[in-house]
Structure 1
Amino acid sequence: MNIRLGLLGAEDSLQCIQTIAAEYGEFDCLPCLWSKREDIVPLLQTNADKVDMWLFAGRIPYLIAQAWGGVAQPIFHLPYQGASLYKTLCEIFYTQKVKMNEISFDSILYSDLKQVFRELGIADEPLHVRPFELGMTEEESIQYHYELWKTHQTKLAVTCTLSVKKGLQQLGVPFYRVLPARTAVESTLNMMLRTFEMHNLRDAQIAMQMFEFDSLAGVSKEWLSTDELYMMEMKATKKLIAYAKRVQGSLKLAGPGRFVVFTTRGMLRMITENFTSIPDVEEFEQISCGIGIGRSAYEAEFHAAKALLTAKEYGEGTWMVYFDDKTVTGPLGKKEQINYSYVSAELIAVSKETSLSVSTLNKLMAIMKKNHRTEISAYEVAQYMRILPRSAHRIITELEKKGYAQIVGEENPNPRGRPRKLYRIQLEQK
Structure 2
Amino acid sequence: MVIKIAVIGSADFLKRIQSLSTQISDIQIDEYVYQEPQDATQLVKTINPCDIIFFSGALPYYFSREWREQLTIPTHYLAQDEMSVTSTLLAVSYHKKVLLTRISIDLMDATFVTNVLADIDCEDQVVHVMDYQDMVESHFDLNRIITYHQTLWNQGIIDLAITSVHAVYDQLQQLGVPVMRMINPSDTLIRGLHDSKTKAQLVQRQSAKVAVGYIYINGTHELKKEKIAAIAHHIDATVQQMKPNLYALYSTQGNIENLINNNMLRDFFNKDQKHVKLGLGYGETIFEAGQNAEIALRFAKKEGEASCAYILTEGKELNGPYPQEYKQQRLAIDQPEFLKMAKQTTLSPANLSKIIQFGKTKNARHFTAVDLANYLQVTRRSTERILKKLADQGFVLVVGEEMTYQQGRPRAIYKLNILIYN
Alpha-carbon spacing, 1:287–1:28, altered in 2? closer, same or farther (3 Å): farther
Q: Check the 8 A contact 2:5/2:197 in 1, yes or no.
A: no
Give me the whole-angstrom Cα distance separating, in 2, the residues matched to 1:93 and 1:324: 54
What is aligned with 2:32?
Answer: 31
1:262 aligns with 2:250: yes
1:289 aligned residue (278, 285, 290): 278
What is aligned with 1:60?
Answer: 59
What is aligned with 1:6?
Answer: 6
Q: Check the 8 A contact 1:8/1:56 in 2, yes or no.
A: yes
In the TM superposition, residue 53 of structure 1 has moved relative to its aligned partner by: 0.7
3-state SS of the aligned residue for 2:289? helix
Cα root mean square deviation, aligned: 5.2
1:319 aligned residue (300, 309, 319): 309
Give me the whole-angstrom Cα distance separating, in 2, the residues matched to 1:169 and 1:131: 20
| Per-residue CA distance 1:205-238 (angstroms, 9 max, x = gap) | 1212122222445xxxxxxxxxxxxxx4xx6456
1:176 aligns with 2:163: no
Give the counterpart letter for 2:277 in structure 1: S
3-state SS of the aligned residue for 1:173? coil
Percent of matched pairs sharing the same residue = 21
Alpha-carbon spacing, 1:72–1:95, altered in 2? closer, same or farther (3 Å): same
Q: Check the 8 A contact 1:7/1:57 in 2, yes or no.
A: yes
What is aligned with 1:50?
Answer: 49
Q: Check the 8 A contact 1:102/1:154 in 2, yes or no.
A: yes
Alpha-carbon spacing, 1:72–1:247, altered in 2? closer, same or farther (3 Å): closer
Alpha-carbon spacing, 1:4–1:139, altered in 2? closer, same or farther (3 Å): same
Q: Check the 8 A contact 1:322/1:328 in 2, yes or no.
A: yes
Alpha-carbon spacing, 1:325–1:171, altered in 2? closer, same or farther (3 Å): farther
1:198 aligns with 2:202: yes
Q: Check the 8 A contact 1:291/1:307 in 2, yes or no.
A: yes
Alpha-carbon spacing, 1:145–1:28, altered in 2? closer, same or farther (3 Å): closer
TM-score by length of 2: 0.69
In the TM superposition, residue 27 of structure 1 has moved relative to its aligned partner by: 0.8
TM-score by length of 1: 0.68
Give me the whole-angstrom Cα distance separating, in 1, the residues matched to 2:205 and 2:123: 48
3-state SS of the aligned residue for 1:278? helix
| Per-residue CA distance 1:348-382 (angstroms, 9 max, x = gap) | 799999x99455457668999xxxxx9xxxxxx9x
In the TM superposition, residue 387 of structure 1 has moved relative to its aligned partner by: 7.0
What is aligned with 1:161?
Answer: 165
What is aligned with 2:147?
Answer: 143
Please, which runs of 5 or more residues in structure 1 have no aligned partner?
A: 218-231, 369-373, 375-380, 395-400, 405-426
Q: Check the 8 A contact 2:210/2:251 in 1, yes or no.
A: yes
1:41 aligns with 2:31: no
1:308 aligned residue (297, 301, 306): 297
Give the counterpart letter for 1:98 in structure 2: V
Alpha-carbon spacing, 1:312–1:403, altered in 2? closer, same or farther (3 Å): farther
Alpha-carbon spacing, 1:247–1:6, altered in 2? closer, same or farther (3 Å): same
1:278 aligned residue (258, 265, 272): 265
3-state SS of the aligned residue for 1:50? coil
Alpha-carbon spacing, 1:25–1:35, altered in 2? closer, same or farther (3 Å): same
Give the counterpart letter for 1:304 in structure 2: A
Alpha-carbon spacing, 1:76–1:403, altered in 2? closer, same or farther (3 Å): farther
Give the counterpart letter for 2:95 in structure 1: T
In the TM superposition, residue 177 of structure 1 has moved relative to its aligned partner by: 0.8
3-state SS of the aligned residue for 1:70? coil
In the TM superposition, residue 33 of structure 1 has moved relative to its aligned partner by: 1.7
Give me the whole-angstrom Cα distance separating, in 1, the residues matched to 2:298 and 2:104: 57
Listed as ranges, the matches of 1:25-424 within 5 Å are 26-37=27-38, 39-44=39-44, 46-47=45-46, 50-66=49-65, 69-81=69-81, 83-124=83-124, 127-129=127-129, 130-133=131-134, 134-135=137-138, 136-150=140-154, 153-217=157-221, 232=222, 236=224, 239-240=227-228, 243-244=231-232, 247-252=235-240, 257-270=245-258, 272=259, 274=261, 276-278=263-265, 281=268, 286-312=275-301, 316-332=306-322, 336-337=325-326, 357-360=351-354
Matched residue pairs, number?
388
Q: Check the 8 A contact 2:74/2:203 in 1, yes or no.
A: no
Give me the whole-angstrom Cα distance separating, in 1, the residues matched to 2:40 and 2:239: 43
3-state SS of the aligned residue for 1:197? helix
In the TM superposition, residue 160 of structure 1 has moved relative to its aligned partner by: 0.8
3-state SS of the aligned residue for 1:288? strand
Alpha-carbon spacing, 1:278–1:49, altered in 2? closer, same or farther (3 Å): farther
Alpha-carbon spacing, 1:139–1:385, altered in 2? closer, same or farther (3 Å): farther
3-state SS of the aligned residue for 1:307? helix
Q: Check the 8 A contact 1:208/1:300 in 2, yes or no.
A: yes
Give me the whole-angstrom Cα distance separating, in 2, the residues matched to 1:179 and 1:210: 54
